[in-house]
Structure 1
Amino acid sequence: MTWNIYLSGEIHTDWREQIKQGCSERALDVSFSSAVTDHEASDAAGDVLGPEQDNFWRDHKSAKVNAIRTSTLIGRCDIAIVRFGDKYKQWNAAFDAGQCAALGKPYITLHDEALIHPLKEVDAAALAWASDVEQVVSILAYITSQQ
């Protein structure tokens, strides 16, 4: 079975590539999907529907267009990895975690110890909290290699 892993959250570091690399090195039978990680492209996703004078409506339309992708991919995944970085607030990642919880999709949170308190509810619904990429890859190796 190929496990479909959805990678959600922080877009300013290469954590996605590190997970993909670690899984490749271990020859795990996994595939990956994620939201659009190009910040400008994501912000402009709704622009095809026409210009807006008010940034609220531009963001609103773009969020809805982006939700077509994220909702579909979360619905198809076997497990999600939800990354919270320390530099920016990832409200979208918290929303993705909530979708996973509502759909009964297992997810692992990935964040530093400094975020334990602010993410207590998100972590409470997660099946694991990892503080580094190697822990995530090790969990994926365990769950995908057991018969």
Structure 2
Amino acid sequence: MELVVYLAGQIHDNWRDDIKKQAEGLKLPITFVGPMTDHDRSDNIGEVILGKQDSAILKDEAASAFNNLRTEVLLKKSDVVIALFGEKYKQWNSAMDAATAVAFNKPLILVRPEKLHHPLKELSNKAQVVVETPDQAIRALAYIFE
């Protein structure tokens, strides 16, 4: 058995690489997918596909349409979603992806520090598992294969 795991969360550091390395080290049969992590590519994809837009708002709208298409396809193909909420960055995309996973009835592993318990309490209640670190999320996935 192999799992497809969508890694939702901020794209400004290497937390995804850390999770992937851990999974490789444990020899877990997992394919990881996720949002576009090249920030410039994500911001500019609408104009790449549709051409120059007339305003910054239209540029954002065009990019978000293609990013949402990509996210929906990959989330629907996923077996499990890991959504990371950290303390450093605003997490609007993480919240949207996690809520979409719940709406698609995808098992959700929510990673959040204890201090974010209160603002994420409703989402935490919808997740199958809530952990505080990416390491704990990988160990939860490893348990599936025991």
TM range (shorter): over 0.9
TM-aligned CA deviation for residue 101 of structure 1? 0.7
Correspondence for 2:29: 29
Per the normalisation by structure 1, the TM-score is 0.93
In structure 1, stretches of 5+ residues that fail to align are: none
Correspondence for 2:11: 11
**Tell me, what secondary structure is at the counterpart of 2:40?**
helix
Correspondence for 2:65: 64
1:38-77 matched pairs, under 5 angstroms: 38-48=38-48, 49-77=50-78
What is the aligned residue count?
145
Correspondence for 2:82: 81
Correspondence for 2:133: 132
User: What is the one-letter code of the residue matched to 1:102?
Assistant: A
TM-aligned CA deviation for residue 34 of structure 1? 0.8
TM-aligned CA deviation for residue 117 of structure 1? 1.2
Q: Distance in 1 between matches of 2:59 and 2:123?
A: 28
Correspondence for 1:112: 113
**Tell me, what secondary structure is at the counterpart of 2:31?**
strand
Q: Distance in 1 between matches of 2:121 and 2:52?
A: 39
TM-aligned CA deviation for residue 138 of structure 1? 0.7
Correspondence for 1:96: 97
CA RMSD of aligned residues (A): 1.1
Q: Distance in 2 between matches of 1:123 and 1:92?
A: 16
**Tell me, what secondary structure is at the counterpart of 1:5?**
strand
TM-aligned CA deviation for residue 38 of structure 1? 1.1
Q: Distance in 2 between matches of 1:101 and 1:75?
A: 11
Check the 8 A contact 2:10/2:93 in 1, yes or no: no
Q: Sequence identity, in percent?
A: 39
Per the normalisation by structure 2, the TM-score is 0.94
**Tell me, what secondary structure is at the counterpart of 1:44?**
helix
Deviating beyond 3 angstroms after TM superposition, the runs of 4 or more aligned structure 1 residues are none
